[in-house]
């Protein structure tokens, strides 16, 4: 199990996301951003917009995805 924070993934807070894979953590971050914005948290709006934009531009999105997977792989198991 490894941990990345919202901030590590481009967000504004230090909420920890834990997962067995980078995809688990990325999915948790995506849901966290959606939930925070839906709850009226304006601090997360920019990160949520950036997350949605990544998937509209596949080349940039894949670059972020590969970078995040590498960062996750480099973490020690906790």
pLDDT at 59: 84
pLDDT at 77: 85
Which pLDDT band, with edges at 50, 70 and 90, does 21 fall under? very high
Q: From CA 42, how far away is CA 53, in angstroms rounded?
A: 17
Picking from 35, 57, 67, 33, the residue whose alpha carbon sits closest to that of residue 47 is 33
pLDDT at 61: 85
Q: 3-class DSSP state for residue 59?
A: helix
Domain coordinates in residue numbering, the chain: 2-74
Dihedral class, residue 11 (left if φ above 0, else alpha if ψ from -120 to 50, else beta)? beta
Which tops the pLDDT comparison, 49 or 55? 49
Dihedral class, residue 58 (left if φ above 0, else alpha if ψ from -120 to 50, else beta)? alpha
């Amino acid at each position: 199990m490894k941990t990345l924070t919202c901030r590590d993934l481009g967000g504004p807070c230090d909420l920890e996301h834990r997962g067995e894979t980078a995809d688990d953590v990325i999915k948790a971050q995506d849901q966290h951003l959606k939930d925070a914005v839906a709850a009226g948290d304006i601090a997360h709006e920019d990160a949520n917009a950036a997350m949605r934009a990544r998937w509209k531009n596949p080349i940039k999105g894949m670059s972020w995805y590969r970078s995040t997977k590498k960062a996750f792989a480099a973490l020690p198991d906790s």
